[in-house]
Amino acid sequence: MSATEMTPARFLRSVIAIFLKDWRSELRTRYAISALLMFVVTTIAIILFSLGSEGASADALAGMLWVVIFFGAMSGLSRTFVMEEERGTTLTLQLIAPASAVFFGKLLFNLVLVLGLNIVTVLLYAGFITGFVIRNVPVFLVTILLGSFGFAAAATVIAAIIARANTRGTLYPVLSFPIMLPLLLTVINATRLASEGAFFQEAAGEFQILISYIVVVVVISYMLFEYIWKD
């Protein structure tokens, strides 16, 4: 083995280095974090004012939670590739990192970002929206975890595709919606089950769909990413 051969350990170091670069860049610029937080706070405030003293069904509240998360994610998750394109550093990354390492590094960054977004959103939503009650917390936590992973996986590859487009701002949610629709329907249903206090076994079917969705999206993204990234 030569000194520079790409071993699994070296590949992992490369993935972590890309994640750390993006994370430190985000801490310095706070571009995505600010956009995400502002969106979440504004949207929850609008929902709060719209509902007023009237209640809403568990179905509607579960749906609204994921509407906030979906559009919040849309406002921030594309930044990881769009910023590289706007600053002209896409070529720099292409020169120093294998395409698959870039994909997994960006995926890891988006996963951390969307997990953070979801935690903040759920805390604010549960704190301010009366009537949103979770009766089975483990089912809800698994839903949030798998939903975050699914969002990050789909958002990462879509962001890589739209980063080269001139109309990237509007293209991102438009392209994301059909791809994320199966994910959205499943997490909304799983959240409704958690708020109704359903047992873990009752939600197992939803979790299987979520895991399948994540596996399919990650594998297809991994296979296609080099073509998206290079030319």
**166 lies in the binding site for another protein (CB under 8 A):** no
Site for another protein in 3-32 (CB under 8 A): 4-6, 10-11, 13-14, 17-18, 20-21, 24-25, 28-29
15-19 contact pairs (CB < 8 A, 24+): 15/101, 15/104, 15/105, 15/108, 16/105, 16/108, 17/105, 18/93, 18/97, 18/101, 18/102, 18/104, 18/105, 18/106, 18/109, 19/105, 19/106, 19/108, 19/109, 19/112
Give the residue with the Cβ less far from another protein, 11 or 71.
Answer: 11
Among 54, 88, 166, 178, binds another protein (CB under 8 A): 88
Figure out which of the listed residues 48, 89, 164, 179 binds another protein, where binding follows CB under 8 A: 89
Q: Does 94 bind another protein (CB under 8 A)?
A: yes
> Could you give the C-alpha distances from 123 to 15, 81, 132, 134, in angstroms and in order?
31, 28, 11, 12
* 224 is an interface residue for another protein by CB under 8 A: no
* Residue number, 92 or 130, with CB nearest to another protein: 92
* Contact residues: another protein, CB under 8 A: 2, 4-6, 10-11, 13-14, 17-18, 20-21, 24-25, 28-29, 87-89, 91-98, 101, 230-231
